[in-house]
Structure 1
Amino acid sequence: MDTPAIPLPRDPRERAILDQLSMIRDQLLLLKQDRTNYIRTQDVMPLFDRTMDQVKELNIVRAETGNKGENRLDKVLESCFQLLSLFYLTIGRNNEAPATYALTSTIKRLLDHLVEADLYSAKDLGSIKSTLEGLTHSIQHGSKEQVPEKKPPPYVITLLFNRVELCQATLAKLQKRLERVPESLLSTHQKLVSILRAVALANTKSKFSTSEVKKLRQQIVEIGDRYNGGKFTAEDGTVVPGSEEVRELYQRCLKWSDLVLERKGVVADQWRPIYDVLVGIRNDLEKLSLTQAWSLRETDLYDFQRQLDKIDESRQNGNWLDDRARPADLWTQRTLLYLIRRSYGYIYSFMLASEPVSEALLPIYNQLQTLKRCLVEVKKSGGVSSVRELYPYSMKLNSLDNMKVDGKFVVNGDIPEGQGSVSELLAECFDLNYDLRVAAEEANEAGSPEADGEVDGETKAEEKAE
């Protein structure tokens, strides 16, 4: 899409479809950039339907011509699918099949990088495995959807199934390799992976800390010392099957920490521009991770993905070339790849954390999430000594409940997606608040008669307020 190296379609009918998809993509981008209004289901679905019409037409054309080669049309179509998938997350339709497209793109990137880096732990694979199982369930549910307007076309279901299966095949290969690590050394293997990543993080901080990296290196040495000086054999010196995997990782950790200490975070001038871009993306995503629930619109992830994809795909034989066609040195290559993988990891976590609630309802949902956390903490700490302490929570819950019109939360005349999730959370908060009030009343009733009278008065006042 961004480079002339990707040819235009030769078939005039494909060119016409390209023109239509380009207009749809531009409209999606404009909708994404509009911060003055909430994104609504009725804004997204017509664009989804128009995209599906073009895909249907494309399938007919290619069935006739037999063309399977990729051209610019495929790139623009991929952008449309990616954007629409993120829009589905934004409007709260997370559990529907089209929403899985963007997540499968990120998972594939992560898996490909794990294969390339040959550096991962059982924990990494466990998360991806459970996510893929959830995506499979969503796609299967979509294929059996009874509501016509919610049922995706068969070719979309097939596309999504194929993407998930591709990810699962790569995951299976990674799991098979990890099986070679003996169970007795799995925790050690995971610890070494964790330390190596900590060294990579220290390597990309704005101010390099030699002492921090030296401490991490010392942890690596200490692990080796516990296993016969890094040989990872049994106590009697015999070789444990699979221990060579851990031994290689141990040696790799030592060499990487030495290389990091040698370079001290100094980036060569020819690689500084790409390094600064990647550090900027990583830092922006890191900041978003602190305020995600309140500030992230899922469609924002598209721009980050596109920048990362472009940089990642600019490599040749796994490495970057400078203006004079010279490959990056080992430290630069690994540092840039770490930044890319770290950023993809953030995007993956954001998509997983996305709530099945429309952007318009998120402010209410987030307030309820905060209220629930507060009430749970109050309950954990022993409850309240007086019903009066629950007044702020009761008033807030009632003010949110009073926003409903005929049992629905209405925003600007619309009934946004995610009503069930918000109502369920509101009910949980009311239940927690009620349990705390009952416990406080019972505790006071067991006390002095004066206390009983005080509680009765407070309870009546609260009931009147409600």
Structure 2
Amino acid sequence: MTDSPAYRLPLDPQEQPILDRILHIRDNLSLLKQDRSTHIKSQDVIHHYNELIEQVDKLNAIRETKRDEQNRVDTVLDDCFQLISLFFLTIGRNSEAPAVYSAISTVKRLLDHLKEAGFYSPKDLESIRDHITQWRHSVRRGKDTFSDSLLTLLDARIGVCESILQDLQQNLSKLDPEMMGTYEKLVSILRSLSACNTRSKFPAKEVQDFERQLLEIQDQLHETRVTHDGKTAEQVYAERLEQMSLTEGEVADGPTVVRALLARCLLWVEIIQEKQGKIDSRFEETYAHLVKIRNTLEQMNLTHAWSLRETDLYSYQRQLDRIDASRRDGNFLSPVTNEPADLHAQRTLLYLLRKSYSFVYQYIVSSEPVSEALLPIYNQLLTLKRCLVEVKRSGGVDSPRELYPYSMKLNSIDNMKKDGKFMVGNDIPEGQASVTALLAECFDLAYDLREESQQHEESNGVETSNEVEVAS
């Protein structure tokens, strides 16, 4: 099992029984996560959640006079809450407070990395802001249902994320619409360049094309390329990052923000063209590990609607957390010499770390509010809906007979219900309302298409009759 980053502080003897118990809970959650022979049941998740809260209450009583204590108990508790949170998503209880835990932990990491990278799209921030608002509502709704300790913790973590988000939004507040368009294009180019820099084979021609686009933007802004006589591009880039940290808290005007980002893009092109996709040999192992995680998460994007169990994300979160926690003052350190990486390696590894966390975030927020037991039915209905919408968009059908395959499939799904519920064995999985609503949408689309085709047939029949009368 992938453990969380470990604390090595001494453990209060009074907390040892709590640690033993939550280790046992974590082991049970891990076994439940790995068991693919059956669907996750709500009662199992709630049982483990209640067990965990019981240990939290005991821990709070012991720490009444030392609230800032942090040791291995806390890291294992975090493991358990991360798993419980992902289990709540798996059983379709997405809008309940425990489900927020994993999401807000991932967003905190993502926001920290966006701030550290020093460039981000307004769309990134809008998506995060909207979901944070939803999560805060979930926490408030849970005040009469879930533990005060959990809700207080979630409320505090959401507050931290809101504070970072506000700072990031403030940094872009002086960009007018025209400057914003240029800024967003530069963000896109810089991210594309970073992706090129991590390809198995360095795409020199593609990078040259991005460089040409940057030079066109430079001409439009009447700027000149940064010269660095006597210094390397990496040294100048590092100086610019240092200047950013010194002026943190100050909000620059729009043109200054855009010019600074353009200069960074041009320097980064120069750096990666020189490196040709080769990273400092001391960091090859970390680089290969992050590339593997990034590629695996990216490939999951093609199949996650059908095969992803949200708890599968846990191992990737923990691997990323360990790599992130191993840094010192934001620096990736050599496992041999304990020296920080050069700028190229630092920024490359940070990009891979941020990209991987962004995939985890994407999968969490796109999780459907439906139990995995109902997901096969739900996904079939989603496919049917897309097909019916496409048929409608393409002009409908010529005859109601063309809708028979859709109607037969919808009826077969509808007939799976028992007493108005979709049952799996004797269980009534979460997400009944979502599946029923989607089924109703599909029936409505099929009905509308049938009505249109019948009207079309009747209209053609009248026209044909008139033509016959005229001919006679």
SS at match of 1:447: helix
2:65 equivalent to 1:89: no
Aligned pairs for 1:48-87 (under 5 A) are 48-63=49-64, 65-87=65-87
Residue number in structure 2 paired with 1:261: 273
Residue number in structure 2 paired with 1:6: 8
Q: 1:224 to 1:24 in 2, by over 3 A?
A: same
SS at match of 1:86: helix
- Tell me the distance in 2 between the aligned counterparts of 1:177 and 1:271: 32
SS at match of 1:414: coil
Higher relative contact order (CA 8 A, sep 6+): 2
Residues 202 and 208 of structure 1 are in contact (CA less than 8 Å); yes or no, is this contact kept in structure 2? yes
Shift of 1:324: 1.4
Number of aligned residue pairs = 436
Shift of 1:416: 0.4
Unaligned runs of 5+ in 1: 146-150, 232-239, 453-466
Residue number in structure 2 paired with 1:116: 116
2:369 equivalent to 1:356: yes
User: In the alignment, which of 371, 374, 388 is matched to residue 384 of structure 2?
Assistant: 371
Residue number in structure 2 paired with 1:237: none
Amino acid at match of 1:301: L
Residue number in structure 1 paired with 2:411: 398
Amino acid at match of 1:304: Y
Deviations along 1:354-380, one digit per CA (max 9) or x if unpaired, are: 000000000000000000000001001
- Tell me the distance in 1 between the aligned counterparts of 2:405 and 2:262: 55
Unaligned runs of 5+ in 2: 226-251, 466-472
- Tell me the distance in 2 between the aligned counterparts of 1:60 and 1:451: 86
Residue number in structure 2 paired with 1:457: none
- Tell me the distance in 2 between the aligned counterparts of 1:2 and 1:226: 49
- Tell me the distance in 1 between the aligned counterparts of 2:430 and 2:155: 25
Shift of 1:270: 2.0
Residues 88 and 94 of structure 2 are in contact (CA less than 8 Å); yes or no, is this contact kept in structure 1? yes
Aligned pairs for 1:277-292 (under 5 A) are 277-292=289-304
Residue number in structure 2 paired with 1:15: 16
Residue number in structure 1 paired with 2:146: 152
C-alpha root-mean-square deviation of aligned residues, in Å?
1.7
Deviations along 1:135-182, one digit per CA (max 9) or x if unpaired, are: 111111112x5xxxxx10222211111111110011111111111334
Residue number in structure 1 paired with 2:157: 163
Shift of 1:4: 6.2
Residues 90 and 297 of structure 1 are in contact (CA less than 8 Å); yes or no, is this contact kept in structure 2? yes
Residues 4 and 79 of structure 2 are in contact (CA less than 8 Å); yes or no, is this contact kept in structure 1? no
Residues 82 and 101 of structure 2 are in contact (CA less than 8 Å); yes or no, is this contact kept in structure 1? yes
2:395 equivalent to 1:382: yes
Residues 189 and 210 of structure 2 are in contact (CA less than 8 Å); yes or no, is this contact kept in structure 1? yes
Amino acid at match of 2:157: R
Q: Which one is further off, 80-89 or 178-187? A: 178-187
User: In the alignment, which of 339, 357, 363 is matched to residue 344 of structure 1?
Assistant: 357
User: In the alignment, which of 152, 156, 180 is matched to residue 174 of structure 2?
Assistant: 180
Shift of 1:337: 0.6
Deviations along 1:65-94, one digit per CA (max 9) or x if unpaired, are: 435221000101111111100000000000
Residues 423 and 429 of structure 2 are in contact (CA less than 8 Å); yes or no, is this contact kept in structure 1? yes
Shift of 1:117: 1.2
Residue number in structure 1 paired with 2:213: 219
Residue number in structure 1 paired with 2:236: none
Residues 8 and 15 of structure 1 are in contact (CA less than 8 Å); yes or no, is this contact kept in structure 2? no
Q: Which one is further off, 172-181 or 356-365? A: 172-181
Percentage of pairs with the same residue: 52
Residue number in structure 1 paired with 2:429: 416
